[in-house]
């Protein structure tokens, strides 16, 4: 069940080309599995280690990108996988309803790359982390700034440009596709 | 050689106006941006938010030296290197030397106006380094060997067809695709490997946060993300005025910047970056021989005239610019000629003139200064509330002081005198002005000789008012004084007469304000001493009226705007007492139509107006719009039963005082006007315009006879 906050968020996100799926904590792996390409690696930020394992269990080539390389697949170098990756999956700090944005933290150092480099980006958003507007969201990011190593990116839709005759084109340097999976609590 | 360069500008304007492709490209892009911005602003209280933004900018700039120190400590504290570049040479030399020292072969850049300002690319290329602009628009410009023509849409002057042709020629693609989407993909594919092999990424920063040492980069394409994450060395280059105290202020700016710039609620990516990324250097592309294995972060803070401007009470204003480009989209001359005519080194438009003065010196700013008509349209949209027309007035005045003032401009500056001399001899003066003989000297002093000069009435408005003696308004609701402006007084007294009659019908007891010229004609020629003296006198006189509990009414919106907007700056050094008086005067000052409408509403007047089964096509005056009363004429006319009122939405009439009379700009003035004429001519009926110079421009361009709203209203009272 959606709340006004999630609805407004979803509407804004969709209006700029982002796609929205709703799921629960239990259904997350399945929802994600349905969104990613089968035959290309899926890269995860470290806090999504469990999710990566669940995808691997059902036959996906799934990796966790960390400083040291690609965890649990130690032979593979991070960049080699990154270049082949079809999807980067990242967690998030919070969402902003009024602008349709999600704040993403450093993600073990690779978060910034995982949302921008692979052609497809998936960001997982906890419904209860949605805030009304920038004024509510920014102080929270500010409070956690040290823990975030001073890194945060507000993502509002897939990468895009209007540099040719003001025609909106999605997917310039960053991902062509952005999926946001909203994870709702049971009672919600 | 002032004359030669003047001819060049005229020639360049002419070429831009003749260039149909350019015209098509800018017209549609500007309209799109203008509309998108309007839509995006619906979700915030723009006026309140920009007041706050302005306050924050002022505070940040006030504290700039202290914040700069704090920032340096912070960045060095986490291992970053800071370089304070006193000028452009220092900035580009530092970065080029760094690149050479580190063995950098390829630099990827995301959009940075400051890097354009300091001519960074040329410096790197001189060292044999490959520089790759990665913002799509900037890449197009780079491939075309041109300069950006807009602050946020650098290739706005190019059409898709031109881009297809450019890609075919420069990217070695035989049959380039024809859709924007595929063209974009082509650039993505071409740039990906360059990103991967790059050893250095150069970005700008929209804001730099002093107490955390954080860069804030606002972008849509994701190229700034890649430029900061992939190459081992990240160099951020930005102006010292971009420093804000803490993250706390960011919200306000982020509410405004994307909305004003691209009409987005937020851009696709807003990155907060503190120091180098925590990832190890990726090995990707190092195969091309790159040697850098350690991550490094350098922050280059460019002064280049900014500190000096900060100390300059008049130019300081410009430093609040967040480079959103909204002022360009609202500016009629920019809309008509595009950015390149402004010289773009690299800042275009009216704000660009101030920035060119600050960063490149007075001479570079001289030519483009005249392209600002001081119409004030941009002040309506600027999220930092920058008084761009005033900046241009000040620059004109300083150039007059340095280089002397043109005879012609001295003539235009004294609208008050011209009238005084001419009125008694009106028939003679009018006749002479029409003879071919008069046209020759006009041409010689730089006035477009094909322009019709305003005709002088034999009896001035003041004389008419005095002559008619005491008029009794029974049980007056209000007492007010008419501010007498030079053009109504000498050239269009009948407009003043109509206004007086309308206001008396609604119970206003009137007198004349016995004021001096408001000073605008002189100010717009960059002459400030006389207007300052007049302004002081006017303030004393008007304040006296206010003390007597009288309102002050203005027929010409430009005069009202001088008092509301310019006097504060003109009399900045006069002290608090003057400002206090000005506050009270402002509170009691009204545009006549605004006043009429206000009375009708507040007093719930039943006017019993006579129906007029006519169509009125209304052009909004730029200064009415900038004062937030743009809808007033239309609203007032809608009070007339059966009247069909059409508000025409155009940027500007293009005349703006004397701008359209100057030979170097008259073609541009007419071109700006043409857009309005075309819109007006879509409708039959009576054209309504509140400004006297708007009226003469429209009259000439449409061969119709524009009326002031008061002239229409008095008919409905009859
Ligand atoms: S005052 Fe008018 S002409 Fe000058 S920059 Fe602003 S919009 Fe353009
Ligand atoms: S002057 Fe104002 S409107 Fe123009 S670019 Fe700067 S901030 Fe934006």
Query: Tens of pLDDT along A109-126?
Result: 777 788 999 999 999 999
Q: What is the mean pLDDT of residues B152-162?
A: 95
Q: Is the pTM of this model over 0.90?
A: yes
Residue of B326, B328, B379, B626 to mutate, ligand 2, most atoms within 8 A of C-beta? B326
Cross-strand partners of B481: B511, B552
For residue range B425-443, what is the model confidence (pLDDT) as tens digits?
666 666 666 666 666 667 7
Q: Cβ of B543: how many Cβ atoms within 10 Å? A: 18
Give the span between the Cα atoms of B489 and B423, in whole angstroms.
9
The answer, yes or no, to whether residue B6 has pLDDT greater than 60, is: no
Structural domains in chain A, sorted by start: 4-184 (3.40.50.10420)
Give the span between the Cα atoms of B340 and B360, in whole angstroms.
16
Structure confidence at residue B7 (pLDDT): 47
For residue range B321-353, what is the model confidence (pLDDT) as tens digits?
999 999 999 999 999 999 999 989 999 999 999
Residues 328-387 (B) with a CB less than 8 A from some CB of A: none
Q: Cβ of B613: how many Cβ atoms within 10 Å? A: 9
List of long-range contacts for B424-430, beta carbons under 8 Å, 24+ apart: B424/B458, B425/B456, B426/B455, B426/B456, B426/B457, B426/B458, B427/B458, B429/B456, B430/B455, B430/B456
Q: Which residue has the higher pLDDT, A51 or A65?
A: A51
Alpha-helical segments (H) within chain A: 4-15, 28-35, 49-57, 78-84, 111-114, 134-143
Cross-strand partners of B82: B299
Residue of B386, B390, B391 to mutate, ligand 2, most atoms within 8 A of C-beta? B386
**Residue among A113, A156, A169 whose CB faces B180 most closely:** A169
Q: What is the mean pLDDT of residues B90-115?
A: 96
* Torsions phi, psi for B203 (to 5 deg): -130, 165
Structure confidence at residue B375 (pLDDT): 92
Cβ(B200)–Cβ(B118) under 8 Å? no
Atom number, ligand 2, closest to the C-alpha of residue B388 = 1
Alpha-helical segments (H) within B42-87: 46-62, 64-77
* Torsions phi, psi for B616 (to 5 deg): -115, 125
Q: Whose CA is nearest to atom 2 of ligand 1?
A: B375
Q: Is the minimum CB–CB distance between A45 and chain B shorter than 8 Å?
A: no
Do the Cβ atoms of B267 and A152 come within 8 Å? no
Residues 73-102 (B) with a CB less than 8 A from some CB of A: 78
Q: Is the minimum CB–CB distance between A90 and chain B shorter than 8 Å?
A: no
Atom number, ligand 2, closest to the C-alpha of residue B318 = 1
Structural domains in chain B, sorted by start: 58-306 (3.40.50.10420), 607-717 (3.40.50)
Atom number, ligand 1, closest to the C-alpha of residue B371 = 3
Residue of B325, B349, B626 to mutate, ligand 1, most atoms within 8 A of C-beta? B349
Query: Tokens representing A12?
Result: 């804004």
**Residue among B43, B156, B268 whose CB faces A157 most closely:** B268
Nearest-CA residue of chain B relative to A135? B251
For residue range B7-43, what is the model confidence (pLDDT) as tens digits?
488 899 999 999 999 999 999 899 999 899 999 999 9
B228 contacts in A (CB within 8 Å)?
112
Give the span between the Cα atoms of B488 and B627, in whole angstroms.
21
A1 Cα to chain B: minimum distance (Å): 26
Measured CA distances, B705 to B242, B544, B673, B682, B711 (Å): 50, 38, 15, 16, 12
The answer, yes or no, to whether residue B2 has pLDDT greater than 60, is: no
Structure confidence at residue B545 (pLDDT): 97
Q: What is the mean pLDDT of residues B70-85?
A: 97
Query: Tokens representing B506?
Result: 């609604």
Q: Is the minimum CB–CB distance between A11 and chain B shorter than 8 Å?
A: no
């Amino acid at each position: 069940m959606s709340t006004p906050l999630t609805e407004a968020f979803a509407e804004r996100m969709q209006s700029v080309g982002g796609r929205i799926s709703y799921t629960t904590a239990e259904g997350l792996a399945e929802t994600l599995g349905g969104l990613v390409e089968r035959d290309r690696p899926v890269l995860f930020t470290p806090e999504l280690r469990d999710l990566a394992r669940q995808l691997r269990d059902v036959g996906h080539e799934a990796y966790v990108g960390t400083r040291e390389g690609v965890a649990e697949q130690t032979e593979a170098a991070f960049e080699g996988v990154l270049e082949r990756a079809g999807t980067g999956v990242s967690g998030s700090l919070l969402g902003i309803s009024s602008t349709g944005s999600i704040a993403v933290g450093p993600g073990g150092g690779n978060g910034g790359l995982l949302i921008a480099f692979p052609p497809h980006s998936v960001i997982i958003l906890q419904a209860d982390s949605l805030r009304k507007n920038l004024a509510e969201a920014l102080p929270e990011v500010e409070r956690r700034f040290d823990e975030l190593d001073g890194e945060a990116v507000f993502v509002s839709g897939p990468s895009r440009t209007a540099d040719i005759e003001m025609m909106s084109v999605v997917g310039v340097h960053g991902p062509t596709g952005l999926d946001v999976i909203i994870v709702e609590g049971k009672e919600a | 050689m002032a004359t030669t360069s003047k001819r060049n500008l005229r020639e360049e304007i002419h070429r831009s106006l003749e260039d149909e492709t350019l015209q098509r490209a800018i017209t549609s892009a500007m309209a799109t941006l203008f509309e998108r911005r309007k839509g995006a602003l619906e979700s915030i209280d723009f006026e309140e938010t920009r007041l706050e933004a302005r306050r924050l900018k002022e505070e940040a700039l006030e504290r700039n030296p202290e914040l700069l120190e704090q920032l340096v400590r912070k960045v060095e504290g986490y291992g970053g290197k800071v370089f304070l570049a006193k000028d452009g040479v220092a900035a580009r030399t530092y970065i080029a030397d760094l690149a050479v020292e580190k063995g950098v072969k390829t630099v990827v850049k995301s959009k940075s106006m400051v890097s354009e300002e300091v001519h960074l690319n040329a410096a790197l290329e001189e060292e044999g380094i490959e520089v790759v602009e990665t913002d799509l628009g900037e890449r197009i410009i780079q491939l075309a060997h041109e300069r950006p023509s807009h602050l946020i849409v650098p290739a706005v002057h190019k059409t898709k067809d031109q881009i297809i042709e450019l890609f075919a020629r420069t990217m070695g693609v035989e049959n380039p695709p024809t859709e924007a989407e595929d063209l974009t993909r082509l650039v993505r594919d071409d740039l990906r490997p360059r990103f991967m092999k790059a050893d250095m990424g150069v970005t700008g920063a929209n804001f730099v946060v002093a107490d955390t040492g954080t860069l804030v980069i606002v972008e849509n394409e994701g190229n700034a993300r890649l430029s900061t994450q992939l190459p081992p060395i990240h160099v951020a280059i930005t102006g010292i005025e971009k420093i804000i105290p803490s993250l706390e202020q960011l919200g306000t700016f982020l509410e405004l910047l994307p909305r004003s710039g691209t009409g987005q609620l937020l851009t696709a990516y807003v990155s907060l970056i503190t120091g180098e990324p925590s990832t190890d250097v990726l090995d990707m592309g190092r195969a091309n021989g790159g040697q850098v294995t350690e991550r490094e972060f350098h922050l280059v803070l460019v002064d280049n005239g900014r500190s000096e401007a900060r100390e300059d009470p008049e130019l300081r204003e410009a430093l609040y610019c967040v480079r959103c480009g909204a002022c360009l989209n609202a500016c009629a001359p920019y809309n008509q000629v595009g950015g390149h005519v402004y010289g773009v080194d690299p800042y275009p438009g009216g704000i660009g003139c101030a920035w060119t003065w600050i960063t490149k010196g007075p001479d570079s700013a001289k030519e483009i200064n005249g392209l600002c008509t001081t119409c004030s349209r941009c002040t309506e949209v600027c999220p930092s509330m920058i008084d761009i027309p005033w900046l241009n007035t000040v620059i004109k005045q300083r150039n007059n002081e340095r280089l002397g003032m043109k005879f012609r401009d001295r003539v235009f500056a004294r609208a008050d005198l011209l009238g005084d001399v001419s009125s008694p001899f009106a028939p003679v003066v009018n006749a002479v002005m029409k003879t071919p003989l008069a046209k020759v000297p006009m041409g010689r002093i730089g006035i477009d000789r094909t322009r019709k000069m305003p005709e002088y009435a034999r009896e001035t408005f003041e004389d008419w008012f005095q002559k008619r003696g005491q008029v009794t308004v029974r049980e007056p609701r209000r007492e007010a004084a008419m501010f007498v402006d030079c053009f109504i007084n000498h050239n269009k007294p009948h407009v003043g007469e109509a206004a007086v009659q309308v206001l008396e019908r609604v119970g206003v007891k009137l007198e004349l304000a016995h004021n001096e010229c408001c000073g605008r004609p002189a100010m717009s020629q960059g002459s400030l001493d006389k207007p300052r003296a007049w302004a002081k006198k006017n303030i004393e006189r008007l304040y006296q009226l206010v003390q007597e509990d009288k309102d002050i009414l203005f027929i010409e919106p430009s005069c009202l705007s001088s008092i509301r907007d310019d006097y504060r700056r003109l009399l900045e050094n006069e002290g608090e007492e003057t400002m206090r008086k000005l506050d009270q005067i402002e509170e009691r000052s009204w545009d006549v139509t605004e006043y009429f409408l206000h009375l009708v509403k507040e007093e719930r007047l039943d006017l019993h107006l006579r129906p007029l089964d006519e169509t009125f096509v209304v052009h909004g005056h730029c200064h009415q719009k900038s004062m937030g009363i743009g809808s007033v004429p239309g609203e007032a006319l809608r009070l007339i039963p059966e009247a069909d009122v059409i508000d025409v939405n155009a940027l500007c009439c293009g005349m703006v005082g004397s701008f359209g009379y100057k030979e170097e700009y008259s073609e541009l003035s007419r071109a700006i006007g043409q857009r309005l004429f075309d819109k007006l001519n879509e409708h039959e009926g009576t054209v309504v315009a509140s400004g006297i110079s708007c009226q003469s421009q429209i009259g000439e361009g449409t061969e119709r006879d524009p009326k002031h709203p008061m002239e229409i209203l008095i008919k409905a009272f009859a």
